[in-house]
């Protein structure tokens, strides 16, 4: 029996949909790290903030990840970290508070720095790799970079003082601090430390008295009394033993990946953890600046970086005004080959901040990120996210369906584990499901301690 084959026709999906309505075009990105398959038609989905920026898919390399605990936020980010190393981008874990990334970074041959009492220390005023760049710069470029170093030192010192005092420092105190940093920069042939700043404040040289607008010793002491006690608390209070000496292990510019493990200080309370995060952010961003400056001089390769800021909300709620300092730090690196991934559980975390000004600036982190990734979230959370990222009805229903199991059976897989909705601008979201392969099952597992019990 002979059956003649049916005629074949070729047409675009827009032309053929009337004749054959079962076609579907995916349009999923094919640049970046493969993170899973499209949940509707199984095509591989790729994601990488820097690769998407180079391809013109987004306008900036910022990424904001939201999801309930246990839905796999860290798993997705770890896949992106692994892909970044494979493509020549250096991931920097800007304060690993659990730690979730130490095992992975070690497996990738990267550098792990453990900050804590009796462990590694970070000098908040350390210029880091920027010192190497300054040695190669003269003239206007050198002056610009020196002002940049000064600005970062002053901004971080103000943030730490705000954290200790739990209130903003005054304008007069900021002027005196800035002049003290300038004096130390002229006097010392090394990076100053917080004990150096405290010492010069207590000495009260004429330059500081002029900055404080005082003409005698008693007036100067009254003007700087609170500032001296604040810095003293930085050295003797709850932060003692961590930020009061030179940096013990500098960041390595040529490391394939870097993780700053602050899990030890996390056990000492939120104040110390916040200070560790702020210092880590400042030090790592200075490293990015140094890399860009050395590349411009032709004395180093052009590098790209992926900064991961996990548990973002814990760093921002330490004291009023800290959001402003964090915002200033992160804004400085958008044009220097650095992508950023910010991770938090809920926008409600940001509502715990002290003032409406801080809450508005914190929401700006999400608003400025070109890529938003949603894991399992409840309906009330999606209503708030919809004010920042447009969501359709089916998209809201899909993300909500991932938020909680529908049965009480033990050992049942969480319905949202490894499922994400990727949103960029006004485009329809991409629902993707990630499956672990090979050694990822061990390296990406954040529940090992619980299962061991």
**pLDDT score at 450:** 46
Nearest to 176 by CA among 146, 232, 220: 220
Q: Percent of the chain beyond pLDDT 70?
A: 87
Are the beta carbons of 184 and 197 closer than 8 angstroms? yes
**pLDDT score at 80:** 96
Give the highest mean pLDDT range of 47-51, 144-148, 348-352, 426-430: 47-51
CA 422 vs CA 37, 55, 143, 292: distances in Å: 12, 17, 43, 30
Query: Could you tell me which residue, 267 or 399, shows the higher pLDDT?
Result: 399
Nearest to 79 by CA among 54, 55, 53, 45: 45
**pLDDT score at 306:** 93
Q: In angstroms, rounded to a whole number, what is the distance separating the alpha carbons of residues 406 and 399?
A: 14
**pLDDT score at 97:** 83
Instruction: Supply the CATH classification number for the domain 27-111+259-453.
Output: 3.40.50.300
Structure tokens at 230: 């604040």
Least confident of 140-154, 218-232, 377-391: 140-154
The residue extents of the domains of the chain are: 27-111+259-453, 124-250
CA 440 vs CA 75, 79, 104, 207, 436: distances in Å: 9, 8, 9, 58, 6
pTM: 0.84
Residue 19 has pLDDT above 80, yes or no: no
Are the beta carbons of 127 and 191 closer than 8 angstroms? yes
Q: What is the mean pLDDT of residues 397-405?
A: 84
Q: What is the mean pLDDT of residues 119-140?
A: 79
Task: Provide DSSP, 332-369.
Answer: TTTTTTEEEEEEES-HHHHHTSSSHHHHHHHHHHHHH-
Q: What is the mean pLDDT of residues 14-37?
A: 74
Report residue 406's pLDDT band, with 50, 70 and 90 as the boundaries. low
Structure tokens at 142: 């050198």
Q: In angstroms, rounded to a whole number, what is the distance separating the alpha carbons of residues 53 and 231?
A: 42
Side-chain-side CA neighbours of 362 within 13 Å: the count stands at 26
Q: What is the mean pLDDT of residues 121-145?
A: 78
Report residue 278's pLDDT band, with 50, 70 and 90 as the boundaries. confident
Q: Percent of the chain beyond pLDDT 90?
A: 32
- How confident is the prediction for the chain on average, in pLDDT? 83
Report residue 263's pLDDT band, with 50, 70 and 90 as the boundaries. confident
Residue 121 has pLDDT above 70, yes or no: yes
Query: Could you tell me which residue, 36 or 282, shows the higher pLDDT?
Result: 36
Residue 218 has pLDDT above 70, yes or no: yes
Q: Which residues contact 309 (CB under 8 A, 6 or more apart)?
A: 94, 95, 281, 315, 330, 340, 341, 342, 343
Residue 372 has pLDDT above 50, yes or no: yes
Report residue 252's pLDDT band, with 50, 70 and 90 as the boundaries. confident
Q: Which residues contact 450 (CB under 8 A, 6 or more apart)?
A: none
- pLDDT by residue (tens digit) across 144-163? 878 888 888 888 888 888 88
Report residue 321's pLDDT band, with 50, 70 and 90 as the boundaries. low
Nearest to 292 by CA among 301, 281, 283: 301
- pLDDT by residue (tens digit) across 82-115? 999 999 999 999 888 888 899 999 999 999 999 8
Task: Provide DSSP, 125-146.
Answer: T--TTHHHHHHH--HHHHHHHH
**pLDDT score at 357:** 79
Q: What is the mean pLDDT of residues 392-412?
A: 79
Query: Could you tell me which residue, 264 or 256, shows the higher pLDDT?
Result: 256
Q: In angstroms, rounded to a whole number, what is the distance separating the alpha carbons of residues 289 and 284?
A: 9
In sequence order, what are the beta bridge partners of 37? 44, 433
Nearest to 50 by CA among 10, 90, 8: 90
3-state secondary structure of 91: strand
Q: In angstroms, rounded to a whole number, what is the distance separating the alpha carbons of residues 198 and 200?
A: 6
Query: Could you tell me which residue, 393 or 347, shows the higher pLDDT?
Result: 393
Structure tokens at 343: 């991770």
């Amino acid at each position: 029996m002979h059956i003649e084959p049916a005629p074949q026709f070729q047409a675009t999906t827009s032309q053929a949909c009337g004749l054959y309505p079962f076609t579907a075009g995916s349009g999923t990105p094919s640049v970046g790290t493969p993170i899973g398959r499209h949940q509707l038609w199984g095509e591989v989905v790729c994601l990488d903030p820097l690769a998407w920026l180079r391809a013109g898919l987004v306008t900036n390399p910022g990424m904001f990840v939201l999801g309930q605990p246990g839905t796999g936020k860290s798993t997705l980010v770890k896949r992106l970290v692994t892909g970044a190393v494979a493509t020549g981008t250096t991931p920097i874990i800007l304060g690993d508070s659990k730690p979730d990334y130490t095992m992975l970074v070690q497996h990738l041959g990267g550098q792990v720095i453990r900050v804590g009492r009796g462990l590694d220390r970070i000098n908040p005023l350390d210029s880091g790799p920027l010192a190497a760049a300054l040695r190669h710069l003269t003239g206007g470029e050198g002056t610009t970079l020196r002002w940049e170093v000064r600005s970062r030192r002053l901004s971080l010192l103000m943030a730490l003082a705000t954290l200790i005092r739990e209130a903003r420092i005054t304008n007069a105190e900021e002027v005196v601090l800035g002049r003290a940093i300038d004096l130390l920069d002229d006097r010392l042939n090394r990076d100053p430390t917080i004990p150096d700043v405290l010492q010069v404040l207590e000495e009260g040289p004429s330059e500081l008295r002029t900055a404080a607008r005082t003409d005698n010793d008693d007036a100067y002491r009254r003007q700087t009394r609170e500032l001296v006690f604040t810095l003293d608390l930085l050295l003797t209070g709850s932060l003692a033993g961590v930020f009061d000496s030179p940096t013990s292990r500098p960041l390595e510019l040529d490391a394939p990946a870097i993780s700053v493990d602050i899990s030890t200080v996390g056990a000492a309370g939120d104040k110390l953890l916040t200070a560790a995060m702020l210092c880590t952010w400042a030090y790592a961003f200075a490293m990015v600046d140094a890399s860009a400056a050395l590349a411009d001089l032709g004395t180093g390769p052009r590098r790209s970086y992926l900064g991961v800021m996990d548990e973002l909300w814990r760093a921002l709620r330490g004291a009023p005004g800290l959001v402003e300092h964090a915002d200033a730090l992160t804004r400085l690196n958008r044009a220097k080959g650095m992508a950023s991934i910010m991770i938090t559980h809920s926008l409600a975390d940001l509502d715990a901040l002290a003032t409406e000004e801080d809450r508005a600036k914190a929401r700006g982190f999400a608003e400025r990120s070109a890529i938003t990734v949603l894991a399992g979230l409840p309906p009330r959370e999606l209503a708030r996210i919809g004010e920042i990222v447009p969501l359709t009805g089916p998209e809201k229903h899909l993300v909500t369906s991932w938020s909680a199991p529908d049965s009480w059976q033990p050992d049942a897989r969480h319905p949202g584990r490894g499922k994400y909705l990727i949103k960029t601008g006004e485009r329809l979201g991409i629902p993707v499901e990630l499956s672990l392969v090979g050694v990822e099952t061990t390296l990406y597992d954040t529940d090992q301690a619980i299962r061991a019990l």
